[in-house]
Structure formats: C-alpha cells, structure tokens
Structure 1
Amino acid sequence: MKTLLLGLAASSALMSGAWADMLDLEKDELTFGFIKLTDMAPLAIAYEQGFFDDEGLFVTLEAQANWKVLIDGVIDGTLDGAHMLAGQPLAATIGFGTKAHIITPFSMDLNGNGITVSNAVWQEMKPNIPVGDDGKPVHPISAKALVPVVDKYKAEGKPFNMGMVFPVSTHNYELRYWLAAGGLHPGYYSPDNITGQIGADVFLSVTPPPQMPSTLEAGTIYGYSVGEPWNQQAVFKGIGVPVVTDYELWKNNPEKVFGITAEFAEKYPNTTKAVVKALIRAAMWLDENDNANRPEAVKILSRPDYVGADYDVIANSMTGTFEYEKGDKRDVPDFNVFFRYNATYPFYSDAVWYLTQMRRWGQIPEAKPDAWYDAVAKSVYKPEIYLEAARLLVEEGLAKEEDFPWTSDGYKIPTPAGDVIDGIAYDGKTPNAYLDSLPIGLKGDQAVQGIEVKG
C-alpha cells in the first residue's frame, strides 16, 4: 500500500504556492486500485513524482487480487477509481456481468501485451515458421504455425488449453484475434454458456496475470495472453517463448483505461479533472525525451508494492526491447506507449472495437445497429473531461498545445490493413461492416444458442 502523508504534502504545497491555482476539490482523499502489471505505471508515477500532490490529492494505491475484485471495489465505493481493462467499463455499462455505469476519462497506454507458449509447444511450432537470413524466426508469427499442433492434440484426445486474464480483457480479444487470423476457432459465449468455449478448437480460460508463468509451468495451460512483465518472466524462467506481441497484432492498439463510476464524475467533477491532470503528467513523464525516464520507472515498478518483478524482467520491455526465444532480443521501441500517438485520449473508436469483439464472440448475443455502438462508446469514454484537464495543464505551462487532439470527433482515422496481422482494416464508424469482414465470428443476425456455430 502507498499512502501520501497528508501533513507533509500540505506543508510542502503551501510553502511552494502550488495550491494557488488548484481546482476547488470536492474530495481530496482517494483510494485507487491496480493489478500488478507494468501498464499501471501512470498511477505509480503520478504518486511517486508528486503529480497527485501538486493537485492537492492525497492518494492511496492498493494492489488488487484480480480484475473482478477490482471492479467490484469501484462499484461499491471501496475504491474511488482503478487501472482497468478497457472492456470492463463497457461490459459493466451494457450489463455483461455486473451492471454499473463506469466511465473512463483517460486511456492508460497503447500496446504492452504478448502471447506466450510453452517450450514444448514452441518446439512443435518451429518447423512451421519461416526463418530469416539471420537464422531467427520471421515475425510476426501467425497462428497458422499452431494449427498442426492443435490438430495433433485433438487426435490424441487432449484439449488445447490457453490462458487469458478476464473475459472482457484485451488479452482475451487479442488471443482470439490471433487464433482466428490463423484459422483456429477460439469458441463462442452465449447467455446460457459463459465459458466462451462453444465450438472451440482452442479452449481459453481465466488465469490472473501474476499466476500465468506458474500455471504454464505446471502444464495446466499450454500458452497464454497477458501484459508485461509476465511474458518476459516466462523467458527469464526458461519455461516459455513469447510468439507475438500485440504491437505486431495491431500496431498501437489501445490497452488499459482509468475507470471511475459515472456517479463519481458527476459528484466530484473538479476532483476528476485533477486526477486526470496528474495522470496526463505521469504519461508525459514516462514517454518524454525518447523514454529517458524509463529506467527510473522500472526501478519504481519493480518494488513489491507495485509490480514486484525483477528489474531486468520489467526493463526487458519497458526500455524498448523485447525478448522472444531466449537470446532473441529485438528492438521494439513502442512496445509500451503511455503518451505518444495520443495514447491517453479516450477515443470512441477504441471503445467500439472492444464492443465489436464482444459481439463477434457472443458476449453481445444479438445484432446491434451502428448507432448503438456509437451511443455506448459515448456513454463510457469521456474525451470532454480529458480535454478540460489537458486545457488546464496547457494554461499552467505544464503541457504543450500541440500534444492534444482538440478538434477530434472522438474517432481515429481507420486503421489500415497493413497495421493488422490479418490484413483487415478497421473503421470505428462502421462496426457492422467490420464484423462482416472478419472470416470467423458472429455477424449480421447470427446468434449462438448453446450450440456450435462457425461463422
């Protein structure tokens, strides 16, 4: 647990005159939750660098056991806000799982995930993977290389099990996307079967992020999709090989968000803006001067009360490299992005992509018109709050005018086909056309009624 010392913080701020232009906070003592992943970094940095303090906020950061406990804490008020899976505010708002109106005024990062397989599975995949002139596997590695392995397991009567962190996690949708792009069906959800394994070639189940390596080592799963540092941990432990990063799946894809209840934002509007201001400054700090602050960030994150993994494990990805097979370390400067490319702006198009994946795999059981996707995105993602906070930072001389998309309509330009592993472009303004373009998955009026459906 990390708690700011109220008296010391107040004294320091008063001495410096930092409170002169502070917002009139409705609530200044806050508790935020997080999961032990490197992409919780904006919260840690906002705390450690005093950005919360500068806003007059006295913050406690508390690690949570899993994503369910975390969102329940935000809903019941035990937590004022949290580092969340992007799918969690959307799922809660539409009533998939716990029903609650959760919003996000801040996107925490881009990229940051990977898909890892066991050493044994990797050895079976390798003959199916092209090799470059340097003798190393050519990336990105398609799930087509996994098809013969899965077929072999089927022939032997063994289910091919893989782990992901939560049913509405990016990791679930990215793993499903990778598998489907290679011709492997990851299974459907239905209202009466929430396993997500209906008609599956590969069986996905939930494993909390820090437990991924040990679960892989135990042989319970043969691979997993997770955020850092738990892919690199498998390499360091010598138990697995990351085969693809989400940057290779979808260049600069959205990842975590900062989530609060709509009620919190309505009741404490100035507090909400102050929190977003501090988080924007933290994201800027993490990316400034070509990631010059990342080694210091890694030291902070390696502490037990944050991520608690070895410095070298966290540094492997946070400082712009990524190690695949042991010794195959490659430059991936944008593996973790916290501020570049408008990473912190909560784009409606990001929300729509998550909703399309919920529909694709049956978590949204019925067809919805394009207008529905737009309306849900706008009820959850709140760029207007973000821009109000950004404007204050610019006026205070703490941020640059040109660093924010003031004139955006909330939708990114369409993602070109070349930036996605299956070569299928994505336009957030036409979600149903996008769903129709995906070879595997529900589209149109298709539904899953507890039986196998392959789209």
Structure 2
Amino acid sequence: MMGIQRWCRRLAMLAGLVAIPALAETVGWPEKAELKFGFIKLTDMAPLAVAYEKGYFEEEGLFVTLEAQANWKVLLDRVIDGQLDGAHMLAGQPLGATIGYGTQAHIITAFSMDLNGNGITVSNDVWQAMKASLPEQDGKPLHPIKADALKPVVEAYRKEGKTFRMGMVFPVSTHNYELRYWLAAGGLNPGFYAPHKGDTSGQLQADVLLSVTPPPQMPATLEAGTIHGYCVGEPWNQQAVFKGIGVPVITDYEIWKNNPEKVFGVSKAWADKYPNTHIRVVKALIRAAKWLDENDNANRAEAVKILARPNYVGADEEVIANSMTGTFEYEKGDIRPVPDFNVFFRHNATYPYYSDAIWYLTQMRRWGQISESKPDSWYLQTAQKVYRPDVYAAAAKALIDEGKMSAADFPDFENEDGFKPPQSEFIDGITYDGRHPNTYLNQFPIGLKDGDRL
C-alpha cells in the first residue's frame, strides 16, 4: 500500500498537482531525478528502505525505485552497465572492481551503510562436536567462540576422508574475509587465490574449502548438507536458529569490533555526470541512518516492520527483530545482548574512511587476490580512488546548513584525514593501523606477507 501511495504522489508531483519539495541552495538541483537502486535482501539494506519510506529521497527531489537483485554479481554488473544508478554493495566490491579483480570497472563510494551485522553459523552436528570442548560460564558456552574449537572437528573430517566446506557470499565480501580471519586465527588455513595462475577458487592449500552461496540460500544449503557452516548477514543466521538447522557461533562484532560492512556504490562515470544527484542521495541516506540509530534505537521496531515486507528482506518480523533490536540468539534459547550488532550511524558509521578501504585491500593481498606485493603508498592511492569523503562532507555540510543535523553528528571535517586510530579489538589481538598495511600483513602467521607470491 505504501508503495502505491508513494507512486501516486510521484505522478502528482510530475503533473504539477502537488508541489515538489523546495530544495536547499547549498546543493544544486539534481541532474537526474528518476533513479533505480539495487539491493540484496539483508537487514543492512535498511538505510535505502528508510530513505524511501520516510520520504527523504523525495525531499531531495529524487524519485527512487528500489529493486532486489538475485546476487552480488548481478547487482554489480547492473551498476556497471547503467541498469541501476547505484546499489547497496559489499564494501569490497568497489575496491575489487576498481583494481580489476573479477570485473574491471571504476566504482566509488561516498557512504558507508553500516557497521557489524554478520555472523558465522555451523550445522547442529558440527556445533555438538565443537561444544564438547568449550569452556562454560553460568551453564552456557563462554564467548567469543574461537575457531580453535572448530580445528579438531575439521581434522576429524580429514581423517575420515571428508572435506569440510563453508559458505560465504562473494569473493570480495566482508563475509569471506571475516570467515577467513576467524579460521586463520584458530590455526586453520582457509586457502589462497592465485589469479596470475588462473586459479580464482580461493582453495589452494586450504584446510577448509570456502565457496559462494547467495545470502537467502544459506540456510537451505546448510540444511541440505552441501556446506557445514557459513558466514552471512542477517537475518540468515537467525533463520537457522528459528528453523532448528544450525547454531551461530560468533558475530563479526566479536571478530572485529565495529567493522565496516556495506557501502552505497555508484560508477565513477555516473558520479561525474550527476554530482548534485549523488550528493542528494547521500544526504537522504545519512538522514535514514541517523533515524535508524537515534534515541537508543527507538525506531528499530518500526524498521523491522518495514524490512519484513516482501519487497525488502521478506523474512518474518520475529527473525529480523532477533538481531536488529539489540540482542542476538546463538544456540536456541541462548539470547545475549549485543546492542551494537547493527550500527547505522553511531561511531561515525556512515563516513567513508580510507583506513576501512585499506583493511579490505590488505585482506585481498593476504589471501592472494592481489598477487604481487604493493608498497604502502599503493594502498592509500587506491583507497583515495574509491572512497569519496569529499562527497560525504558536501552532503553533511548541506544537512547542517539546512538545520536537519548538527556538526556534532559528524567528524571534524577540517581536521579529518580519513584514518581511524590503530585498532586492536580483533579476535586475535593483532593491531591494525591503516597507515602501515605491509607491517600489518607481516604480523599474521597464516597469509601472504610482503614479498610473497604463490
């Protein structure tokens, strides 16, 4: 019903029967007003849905259609060929495309959509085998659960001549890198890529074989026994709990506290052609992100109802709410508070930090997607090609000038250099400093280091 009402309002505006919202003079009129954005059915597409449903796009003079996509590759291809004006993307997608891993295209982002939001789930049988060796606290497994507990299970499979398989959503996804990070921190090699040899399987020397499965298909693939576990965003970990087919063992918040997750991506050619439109899109998304987090997540119950609609995520409200409203259910009945499992605006979540981009590039290098060593300068230069804090700042300053937001909502743009302070809240305790990517890479016992090549 809401979609029909909004469409009628759009037609009325175009016919001159309803006034088009007055646009602030700080940003020029949108060069293109009719837009189509793509997304995958995950709860972290929420800023797009909220910007649409709350009228933030319309207030910028933008008439947006949101369209679910079959998978991440289709979504990226449709942005590249112009069928989509922009999309909810994996943070690694603009970077991977720009450096030519997979599809070659210059994709940029000026908006980070969220922090955290993923989990790693294993089958019931695997969980029972892991659980036997886990320490307990108050009668429940002590968290965070490290991959050390999975290692004997994988070794037992190997002795029986079986292959241990896990799913992730895309080769340059956060899920791939988080799953690899967790496994390697527990002494399990998740495998290497060797594109210079024509091998993009990511399974060279692997103790655990990782493969791609689209997010909504994860629970069914696990239930069928094709994979023994997976890393995915919500609501597909909680879906496994509700169906009784698997147990989430760890969230990405526990692997890397407040890690960047999705971004809003557009082609550079599109951004160059429609600069005012781009800024206005980012303005609407910033407002949506703030709405999602404001007043201690007071709007999350309404957001859950929006996301549950079939045209957005299409999962039961109860399943979405299980992680969206400040808790996370691990083993059935083991519900624990995780207030920052989904962050959309707090902690400057929407700002496109260069250091976030560089972390993704280090993981591409660590696992061989980038075959050759690169100097530290290359990492920064690549981040600057893809991440566009200048566009973000223009949008934020316009919102401040219009009185819709305050300067305190944002980083100090005059002094911001794009780098977060060194971060140590990883599951293995290794410190990440985006200014020194090669020093960071050289700390890992498992993974390619400076000078290595398969």
Scaled to the shorter chain, the TM-score interval is over 0.9
TM-score in terms of structure 2 length: 0.96
- Answer yes or no: is 1:301 the counterpart of 2:301: no
**Mapping for residues 37-436 of structure 1, pairs under 5 Å:** 37-132=42-137, 134-191=138-195, 192-405=198-411, 406=413, 407-416=415-424, 419-436=425-442
CA-to-aligned-CA distance 1:401-444 (integer Å, 9 cap, x gap): 0111112101111102xx11001010000000000011100001
Measured in 2, the distance between the counterparts of 1:46 and 1:18 equals 17
DSSP 3-state at the match of 2:270: helix
Measured in 1, the distance between the counterparts of 2:97 and 2:370 equals 12
Measured in 2, the distance between the counterparts of 1:399 and 1:414 equals 29
Aligned partners of 2:21 and 2:61 also within 8 Å: no
Measured in 1, the distance between the counterparts of 2:416 and 2:274 equals 26
* Cα drift, residue 74 of structure 1: 0.2
* Cα drift, residue 128 of structure 1: 1.6
Aligned partners of 1:2 and 1:305 also within 8 Å: no
Measured in 2, the distance between the counterparts of 1:68 and 1:9 equals 35
**Once superposed, which parts of structure 1, at least 4 consecutive aligned residues long, lie more than 4 Å away?**
1-4, 9-17
Measured in 1, the distance between the counterparts of 2:345 and 2:98 equals 26
Aligned partners of 1:85 and 1:168 also within 8 Å: yes
TM-score in terms of structure 1 length: 0.96
Measured in 1, the distance between the counterparts of 2:416 and 2:310 equals 40
Aligned partners of 1:13 and 1:19 also within 8 Å: no
Pairwise CA RMSD: 1.4
Measured in 2, the distance between the counterparts of 1:444 and 1:298 equals 45
* Cα drift, residue 7 of structure 1: 2.4
Q: Which amino acid in the other structure matches residue 158 of structure 1?
A: K
Distance 1:98 1:291, change over 3 A: same
- 1:453 aligns with none
Q: Which amino acid in the other structure matches residue 116 of structure 1?
A: T
Measured in 2, the distance between the counterparts of 1:148 and 1:177 equals 18
Measured in 2, the distance between the counterparts of 1:91 and 1:310 equals 33
Measured in 2, the distance between the counterparts of 1:20 and 1:372 equals 38
Measured in 2, the distance between the counterparts of 1:17 and 1:118 equals 51
Aligned partners of 2:47 and 2:289 also within 8 Å: yes
* Cα drift, residue 18 of structure 1: 3.1
Percent of counterpart pairs with the same letter?
Answer: 71
Distance 1:177 1:119, change over 3 A: same
Q: Which amino acid in the other structure matches residue 163 of structure 1?
A: G
Measured in 2, the distance between the counterparts of 1:390 and 1:12 equals 30
* Cα drift, residue 15 of structure 1: 4.2
Aligned partners of 2:51 and 2:57 also within 8 Å: yes
* Cα drift, residue 11 of structure 1: 7.7
Aligned partners of 1:165 and 1:209 also within 8 Å: yes
Q: Which amino acid in the other structure matches residue 337 of structure 2?
A: D
CA-to-aligned-CA distance 1:228-279 (integer Å, 9 cap, x gap): 0000000000000000000000000000000000111111000000000000
DSSP 3-state at the match of 1:351: helix
Q: Which amino acid in the other structure matches residue 150 of structure 1?
A: V
Measured in 1, the distance between the counterparts of 2:122 and 2:441 equals 28
* Cα drift, residue 20 of structure 1: 5.8
Aligned partners of 2:21 and 2:59 also within 8 Å: no
DSSP 3-state at the match of 1:415: coil
Q: Which amino acid in the other structure matches residue 216 of structure 2?
A: P
Measured in 2, the distance between the counterparts of 1:211 and 1:217 equals 10
Q: 5+ residue gaps in structure 1?
A: 449-455
- 1:35 aligns with 40
Aligned partners of 2:35 and 2:64 also within 8 Å: yes
Q: Which amino acid in the other structure matches residue 166 of structure 2?
A: M
Measured in 2, the distance between the counterparts of 1:15 and 1:187 equals 58
Give aligned pairs, total: 445
Distance 1:11 1:219, change over 3 A: same
**Mapping for residues 7-26 of structure 1, pairs under 5 Å:** 7-9=11-13, 15=19, 18-19=22-23, 21=25, 23-26=28-31
DSSP 3-state at the match of 1:330: strand
Measured in 2, the distance between the counterparts of 1:34 and 1:434 equals 33
CA-to-aligned-CA distance 1:31-77 (integer Å, 9 cap, x gap): 00000000000000000000000000000000000000000000000
Q: Which amino acid in the other structure matches residue 324 of structure 2?
A: M
Measured in 2, the distance between the counterparts of 1:92 and 1:2 equals 33
